[in-house]
Amino acid sequence: MRLFESIRGHFALMTGDEFRTLSRGSAFSIARVIPENERQKGWIIELTVGKQGNPATIYVTDLLRIYTWLVSSKWGAWATMQEVDEYAATNCVNQRATSYMLPLLATFDDIEIRTGNSAGIRFVFKD
């Protein structure tokens, strides 16, 4: 199985779907999933944010970093937004996009989210 291509395809199928950030409920959608450039072969998810349609980008590799961190360091425990932000600050390419990353990660069957003031995310092993 080609995991990276599967994840890229997973998000490409959600182009145009509306998502909401966990703490504020701000709307955004996936505009497209494209290669960052031909040389690096890194894939980005281009977002349209809010009513103004402001652009934002999420690196697929950043999503995988946070997912792996949840599995390896937070197995079954809730990670707060602050914890995710702290992890992303030292481990992700785009350190300021966690509010958009978490709703995207929640599209995976083994991820649960909490919204509102106690917003968080966790990995839940499924048999």
Each residue's pLDDT tens digit, 59-101: 999 999 999 999 999 888 999 999 999 999 999 988 788 999 9
What residue has token string 């390419």? 93
**Mean predicted confidence (pLDDT) in 29-41:** 75
For residue range 15-26, what is the model confidence (pLDDT) as tens digits? 999 999 998 899
pLDDT score recorded for residue 1:
61
Query: Which tokens belong to 112?
Result: 């649960």
**Mean predicted confidence (pLDDT) in 31-47:** 77
Return the percentage of the chain with pLDDT > 90, whole number: 65
**Mean predicted confidence (pLDDT) in 29-47:** 79
CA-CA distance, 40 to 111, in Å (whole number)? Answer: 29
DSSP 65-80: HHHHHHHHH-TTSPEE
Report the residue count for the chain.
127
Q: What is the pTM of this model?
A: 0.89
